[in-house]
Structure 1
Amino acid sequence: MIARLSGLPFVLEVRDLWPQVLIDQGGKTPDSPMVRLLGWMERQLYSNAHTVVVLAKGAERYVRERGARRTAWLPNGPDLEMFSPQPLPPDQPSFTVLYAGAHGDANALENVIEAARLLEQRNSPVRFQFIGDGPEKHSLIQLAAGLKTVVFNDPVSKAEIPDRMAQADAILLSLRDVPLFRYGVSPNKLYDAYAIGRPVVTTVAGSINAEVETHRLGVTADPSDPQALADAILRLAETPRPEREAMAVRATQLAHSTYSRQRIIAEYNNLLHEVNA
């Protein structure tokens, strides 16, 4: 409103795709009054903004479908000093997959537990370590009861995460398969894994899985298919070390070329100068 009255252009940064969040995670229907009101507000903002900035690559399509005339993808980025490249851990009898983050419904970790069960039944060397907390953690611990290859740990500080990642063979990112995530997410933990140089395992339909596959950074699986996830992780565990080291190098290069905060800040600065010109 202020921009319209003053005749000045404005840049809108979109971090969460409302009201899609309410539909996919809040139990609302597309025709509910709240969703319809927020949808109208969303279209007004998108169509009147000079540029809509999105953090997730796939979200550009979402905002364009709802009226945005111009978009810019400026994602989250890792702290490249904190998450500096680390060599893969020495080869061990076990292969450790680390999940560090929220334990909520959106993370679909029950599928990871089921994949762990399938791998344990096959006497695979894969071990899972979970770090974090959330509303589903207690039920996940119960679900994993009896599994010798799954360990749950309490949350740790951000400063401790680089060391924990460095001790792992691969980093896992898991999200439920809903339209919201198909438009993309901008997960810091994934970019931290890139920066430190770890192969990744992702179960995020859409742009995240596509990025991992295109750049050959690890393995991907369907978010709702524990068997496919188990197969993908075992395939990664059996990948020769030189190939996994090459994945790590490509991940680090991508972190520096695409996700460095310095580059993102510079592009944001250029955008704002252009809008003000």
Structure 2
Amino acid sequence: MRNSYDRIWYVSKYANIAKYGADTRQAYFCKEFVKMGYDVTLLLSNSSHLYSTLPQFRGPFKKETYNGVNVVWLNVIQYQNPNSIFRILSWIHFELLVLIYGLKNRKVKPDVVIASSLSILSAISGSIFKRCLRSKFIFEVRDIWPQSLIELKGLKRSHPLVCFLSWVEKLGYRRSDVIVGTMGRLRLHVERQIKEFKNVTCIPHGVSVEFYENEQVEIEKCYVERYFSVHKPNLVYAGSFNQAYKLSRFIALAKNAKGVDVNFILIGDGPEAEKLKEQSKGISNLTIASKVNRAALNSVLRHADVLLHSFDEKPVFKYGVSPNKFVDYMYAGKPTICIGNVYCPMLEESGAGVVIAPDDAQAFYESVNDYLKMSKEEKVELGIRSRQYILNELSYEKLAEKYSELFSN
């Protein structure tokens, strides 16, 4: 057990707790830190395009307790469109309130501040708290900004927003005591940006064992009957429909599936939904299915034969990927084929799937056939190996232990 006076502030605009939609990475870590004896405060925002049920209230702050965690909601500018200027204004408003909260509570100052992107502007708050409150500053990077804006949104490096966020990014890298990344090769990017060695530790997205053991629900039978084939193998993608994943690849693979009798199912929603629906018209072996609540997702994935994912050909992905959906995929115990020039230790180390190069239909269908030809015993073994890996390597309990070692190092 840690001493109760070891105080942690976890700052993350897009964090959430189950009461208002879902426990996020930050909430799971906070609960584990509390179990270890830390006094933990989670600072988060009530404005997000990811959740529609966040608390609305008057005044700048709303405080509550959640599994021993001190949760402080910050009442900031609302927005719905993630591409809106109001999103950036919401980021700025959030950081101003974070600093006000820090000023008001400076007598109970934190020993450790974790500033988690997005919003990357939290690197400013972390830097100020380090200087003014003498706190240890851990900069947690879950998305590489502004590189993602340049590669995925097409902004130029000379764009004022990119220039500003680039300055913030370098500030966070230089001023932080430790950098935590969810990607395995983040160190390469950090050293490229600031030309100096930094303590960079990979702590990937984790697994809540409790969620998989106690919070699962069954999908309605009619959902499976509507979208899944009983005569063909089902190749399934489940997740966000966004530009970064280039899901049009699966439409092309389905359209040109010569001599391969399979059924593609794309499950989800997102900004690319209408475009994908238009592209898939007239393709009989591909279906776009409605989004599934994550608690019911495992009951859907059990009906798949092979699970699919894809990443666009962007340099930002070479630093490593550990998408949450791979945890769901691996717990379902089904093999995964990922298309892209990416580094994905989860699949490679566990043996739960393969990564193949883009635009190689032959390699894709060879991998599909290899998995479909597996014996029943081999399929069971793959499922056991996949689940064992995520429980042994990715449980929040074990990752929190690794995280806590950074507090005193």
> Aligning the two structures, in what range does the TM-score lie when normalised by the shorter sequence?
0.7 to 0.9
Aligned to 1:78: 207
Q: Distance in 2 between matches of 1:51 and 1:202?
A: 31
Task: Say which one has the larger Rg.
Answer: 2
- 1:207 is aligned with what amino acid? Y
Mapped pair 1:59 → 2:186: yes
Q: Distance in 2 between matches of 1:136 and 1:65?
A: 32
When residues 33 and 151 of structure 1 are mapped into structure 2, their CA distance, relative to the original with a 3 A threshold, is same
Q: Distance in 1 between matches of 2:252 and 2:148?
A: 26
How much has 1:220 moved relative to structure 2?
2.4
Q: Distance in 2 between matches of 1:97 and 1:79?
A: 26
- 1:195 is aligned with what amino acid? Y
Q: With CA pairs under 8 Å and 6+ residues apart, which has the higher RCO, 1 or 2? A: 1
- 2:238 is aligned with what amino acid? A
**1:98 and 1:171 in contact (8 A); partners too:** yes
What are the equivalent positions in structure 2 for 1:259-274 lying under 5 Å apart?
A: 259-272=394-407, 274=408
The residue matched to 1:69 in structure 2 has which SS?
coil
Aligned to 1:177: 313
Aligned to 1:223: 358
How much has 1:51 moved relative to structure 2?
0.4
Q: Distance in 1 between matches of 2:323 and 2:181?
A: 13
**2:321 and 2:342 in contact (8 A); partners too:** no
| Match 2:333 to one of 189, 197, 204 | 197
Question: What is the CA RMSD across the aligned residues, in angstroms?
Answer: 2.2
Give me the TM-score of the superposition, normalised by structure 1: 0.86
- 1:139 is aligned with what amino acid? K
Aligned to 1:102: 240
Mapped pair 1:25 → 2:159: no
**2:322 and 2:346 in contact (8 A); partners too:** no
Report Cα offsets for 1:192-211 as digits up to 9, x if no partner.
11123221111242221x54
- 1:56 is aligned with what amino acid? M
- 1:100 is aligned with what amino acid? A
Say which is worse superposed, 222-231 or 48-57, in terms of deviation: 222-231
How much has 1:6 moved relative to structure 2?
4.1
How much has 1:70 moved relative to structure 2?
0.2
Q: Distance in 1 between matches of 2:246 and 2:164?
A: 30
Report Cα offsets for 1:127-150 as digits up to 9, x if no partner.
111111122222222322232221
When residues 6 and 81 of structure 1 are mapped into structure 2, their CA distance, relative to the original with a 3 A threshold, is closer
Mapped pair 1:244 → 2:244: no
Gaps of 5+ in 2: 1-127, 214-229
Mapped pair 1:69 → 2:204: no
**1:115 and 1:227 in contact (8 A); partners too:** no
Q: Distance in 1 between matches of 2:155 and 2:211?
A: 40
What are the equivalent positions in structure 2 for 1:109-120 lying under 5 Å apart?
A: 109-119=247-257
Mapped pair 1:140 → 2:276: yes
Q: Distance in 2 between matches of 1:202 and 1:221?
A: 6
The residue matched to 2:153 in structure 1 has which SS?
coil
Aligned to 1:89: none
Mapped pair 1:47 → 2:174: yes
Aligned to 1:127: 263
- 1:115 is aligned with what amino acid? L
When residues 232 and 106 of structure 1 are mapped into structure 2, their CA distance, relative to the original with a 3 A threshold, is same
Mapped pair 1:235 → 2:370: yes
How much has 1:93 moved relative to structure 2?
4.7
- 1:269 is aligned with what amino acid? S
The residue matched to 1:10 in structure 2 has which SS?
strand
**1:195 and 1:256 in contact (8 A); partners too:** no
How much has 1:245 moved relative to structure 2?
2.9
Tell me the matched-pair count.
Answer: 264
Gaps of 5+ in 1: 85-91
How much has 1:23 moved relative to structure 2?
0.6
How much has 1:226 moved relative to structure 2?
4.1
Say which is worse superposed, 67-76 or 152-161, in terms of deviation: 67-76
Identity among equivalent positions (%) equals: 27
**1:130 and 1:152 in contact (8 A); partners too:** yes
The residue matched to 1:207 in structure 2 has which SS?
coil
- 1:159 is aligned with what amino acid? A
